């Protein structure tokens, strides 16, 4: 008898309501699975909302001839944001390809609506610190919330925590970026400026903005940790997104290191805000409107699963028999220096993410989706884009449905069944290049 009181019993527990987890919950619940989605914060979206990031990359390949590589529920979200006038396309931004910039408050509401419409149960303010195992199976996950420490019993579990928290507790093999000399992507505190004169601010080119930053550094007036970065308009005039800060070499699952990073990131945001107000045209009457409520974490634990996606797979544009979705996003490594390392996909301009990269070898009833997938540091720097994390979640939800209905472990489902379900709902398809001018832009 476990000493923990039962809080809920379900077919599928999805842990983490970020890009991957939300889509996993919607996807499985739409197929009739009883789902509980457990999120430690008070909103869905994870890095897409709570960490303040407001642009989806990964839907479109970079370049003037572009393909949409992600469809399914992920693209339905984009269309529903367009229908509400809450998103617009930013063609070919940086090296990442065309981005979809959205109103993140609208995304919070939309994701909640879609989870509830699909019939999934939602549990906020609940952190999963531990699991209870029955040999190689997760019997229950523990949740810590205002009710105390309770257990949620589930037949199948999807770990969409970004940090592979569940996989770690269940004993899956993992690699932790930022320790033992392993490289780790930097953290960034996203912030927003209010009362900006957009017309003047965005008449400055990226090169001119970079020069301002270099000058500010050289004359020692401001301490800027990154030269470059993104300042861009949002759907609201005068309200501007800034992704400029950089907190380096942090192991973000170390609670004290994460706390220090939050303090350092917020401090940097204030420094950049002063720089913008004093040095950048269009920001003269602006103010720092908000910093994200959680520092942006790009990389912590990565699964070492049945297949480990590599840089070679990404660059060569490798296709897989057990593909779940496509990715055309370049490797975008926010390393410890002042710039970003980019490396582009060759071949047909896209590669595929295999289902095996979501499967731990040691734990039977667990699927891992999102930025903690089984990939090397370099490959994760491409596959972590939000559109791919959404598609991974979507595929994980379908795989869980098949496993539950066939009463087999996720690694033993019929791949043909998974493939045909993913083709049917457009999670997986063959991208077709077209001119960038043909993309919807409203």
Ligand X SMILES: Cc1cc2nc3c(=O)[nH]c(=O)nc-3n(C[C@H](O)[C@H](O)[C@H](O)COP(=O)(O)OP(=O)(O)OC[C@H]3O[C@@H](n4cnc5c(N)ncnc54)[C@H](O)[C@@H]3O)c2cc1C
Residues 53 and 49: their CA atoms lie apart, in Å, by 6
88 touches ligand X by CB under 6 A: no
Asked if 48 touches ligand X (CB under 6 A), the answer is yes
When asked if residue 296 is in the footprint of ligand X (CB under 6 A), the reply is: yes
> Interface with ligand X by CB under 6 A: which range of 38-46, 270-278, 397-405, 416-424?
38-46
Query: DSSP secondary structure string, 269-336?
Result: HHHHHHHHHHHSTT-TT-EEEEE-SS-B---SEEE-BSS-B-HHHHHHT---TTEEEEE-PPEEE--S
User: Interface with ligand X by CB under 6 A: which range of 6-14, 154-162, 231-239, 318-326?
Assistant: 154-162
| Residue in 300, 297, 421, 415 with CA at minimum distance from that of residue 359 | 415
Provide CB contacts within 8 A for 337, sequence distance 6+.
Answer: none
Q: Which of 28, 53, 201, 418 binds ligand X (CB under 6 A)?
A: 53
User: In the bound complex, what is the minimum distance in angstroms from residue 70's beta carbon to ligand X?
Assistant: 10
Residue 12 φ/ψ, nearest 5 degrees: -130, 125
Residue in 161, 268, 300, 425 binding ligand X, rule: CB under 6 A: 161
Does residue 192 bind ligand X (CB under 6 A)?
no
- Minimum Å distance from CB 321 to ligand X? 24
**Contact map string, positions 211 to 240, toward ligand X, x by CB under 6 A:** ------------------------------
Binding-site string for ligand X from residue 99 to residue 128, where x marks contact by CB under 6 A and - marks none:
----------------------------xx
Backbone angles phi, psi at 379, to 5 degrees: -65, -35
C-beta of 137: minimal distance to ligand X in Å?
A: 19
What is the phi-psi region of residue 58: left when phi exceeds 0, alpha when psi lies from -120 to 50, beta otherwise? left
User: Within 58-77, which residues bind ligand X (CB under 6 A)?
Assistant: 58
| Closest by CA position to 170, among listed 364, 3, 6, 333 | 364
> 375: closest CA among 426, 296, 300?
300
Q: Which stretch binds ligand X (CB under 6 A): 49-57, 247-255, 264-272, 413-421?
A: 49-57
19 contributes a contact to ligand X by CB under 6 A: yes
Q: Does residue 188 touch ligand X according to CB under 6 A?
A: yes
Q: How far is the CB of 52 from ligand X (least distance, A)?
A: 8
- Neighbour count for residue 281 (Cβ, 10 Å): 15
- β-pairing, 6-15 with 35-38? parallel
In angstroms, give the least distance from the CB of 160 to ligand X.
Answer: 5
φ and ψ at 39, to 5 degrees?
-135, 135
Is 21 a residue that touches ligand X (CB under 6 A)?
yes
Give the interface segment with ligand X, choosing from 41-49, 175-183, 214-222, 337-345 (CB under 6 A). Answer: 41-49
Size of the residue set binding ligand X (CB under 6 A): 39
Q: Which of 62, 370, 410, 431 binds ligand X (CB under 6 A)?
A: 370
Q: Is 55 in the site for ligand X (CB under 6 A)?
A: yes
* Residue-wise burial string across 119-157, b where 16 or more C-beta atoms lie within 10 A, e elsewhere: ebbbbeebebebbbeeeebbbbbbbeeeeeebbbbbbbb
> Nearest to ligand X by Cβ — which residue?
18
Looking at beta carbons only, is 248 or 281 nearer to ligand X? 248
Q: Which one, of 328, 372, 291, lies nearest residue 65 by Cα?
A: 328
What is the DSSP annotation of 24-84?
Answer: HHHHHHHTT--EEEE-SSSSSBGGGTTT---EE-SSB-SSSEE-B---HHHHHHHHHHHHT
Gap between the Cα atoms of 19 and 255, Å rounded: 23
Could you say which of 11, 103, 155, 163 contacts ligand X (CB under 6 A)? 163
Assigned token pair, 138: 């997760």
Q: Minimum Å distance from CB 285 to ligand X?
A: 27
Which residues are near ligand X by CB under 6 A? 15-21, 38-41, 46-48, 51, 53, 55-58, 127-128, 160-163, 165, 188, 190, 243, 296-298, 370-371, 384-386, 389
């Amino acid at each position: 008898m476990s000493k923990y009181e039962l809080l809920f019993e379900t077919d599928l527990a999805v842990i983490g309501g970020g890009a991957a987890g939300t889509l996993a919950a919607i996807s499985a619940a739409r197929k009739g699975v009883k789902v509980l989605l457990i999120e430690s914060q008070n909103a869905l979206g994870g890095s897409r909302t709570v960490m303040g990031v407001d642009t989806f990359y990964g839907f479109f390949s970079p370049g003037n001839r572009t393909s949409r590589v992600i469809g399914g529920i992920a693209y339905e979200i984009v269309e529903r944001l367009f229908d509400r006038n809450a998103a617009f396309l930013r063609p070919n931004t940086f090296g990442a390809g065309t981005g979809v910039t959205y109103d993140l408050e609208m995304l919070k509401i939309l994701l909640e609506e879609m989870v509830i419409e699909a019939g999934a149960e939602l549990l906020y303010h609940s952190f999963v610190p531990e699991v209870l195992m029955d040999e190689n199976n997760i019997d229950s996950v523990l949740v810590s919330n205002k009710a105390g420490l309770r257990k949620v019993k589930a037949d199948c579990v999807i770990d969409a925590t970004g940090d592979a928290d569940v996989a770690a507790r269940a004993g899956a093999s993992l690699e932790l970026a930022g320790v033992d000399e392993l490289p780790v992507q930097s953290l960034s505190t996203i912030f927003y400026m209010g009362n900006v004169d957009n017309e003047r601010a965005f008449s400055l080119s990226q090169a001119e903005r970079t020069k301002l930053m270099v000058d500010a550094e050289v004359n020692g007036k401001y301490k800027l940790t990154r030269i470059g970065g993104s300042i861009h308009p949002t759907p609201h005039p005068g309200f501007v997104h800034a992704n400029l800060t950089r907190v380096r070499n942090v192991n973000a699952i170390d609670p004290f290191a994460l706390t220090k990073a939050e303090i350092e990131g917020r401090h940097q945001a204030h420094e950049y805000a002063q720089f913008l107000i004093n040095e950048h045209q269009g920001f003269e009457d602006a103010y720092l409107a908000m910093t994200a409520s959680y520092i942006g974490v790009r990389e912590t634990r990565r699964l070492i699963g049945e297949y480990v996606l590599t840089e070679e797979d990404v660059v060569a544009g490798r296709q897989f028999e057990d593909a779940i979705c496509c990715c055309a996003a370049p490797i975008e490594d926010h390393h410890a220096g002042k710039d970003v390392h980019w490396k582009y996909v060759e071949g047909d301009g896209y590669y595929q993410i295999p289902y095996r990269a979501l499967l731990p070898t040691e734990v039977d009833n667990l699927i891992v989706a999102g930025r903690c997938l089984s990939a090397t540091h370099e490959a994760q720097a491409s596959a972590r884009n939000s559109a791919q994390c959404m598609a991974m979640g979507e595929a994980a939800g379908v795989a869980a449905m098949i496993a539950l209905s066939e009463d087999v472990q996720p690694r033993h489902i019929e791949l043909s069944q998974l493939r045909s379900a993913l083709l049917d709902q457009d999670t997986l398809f063959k991208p077709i290049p077209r001119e960038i001018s043909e993309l919807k832009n409203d």
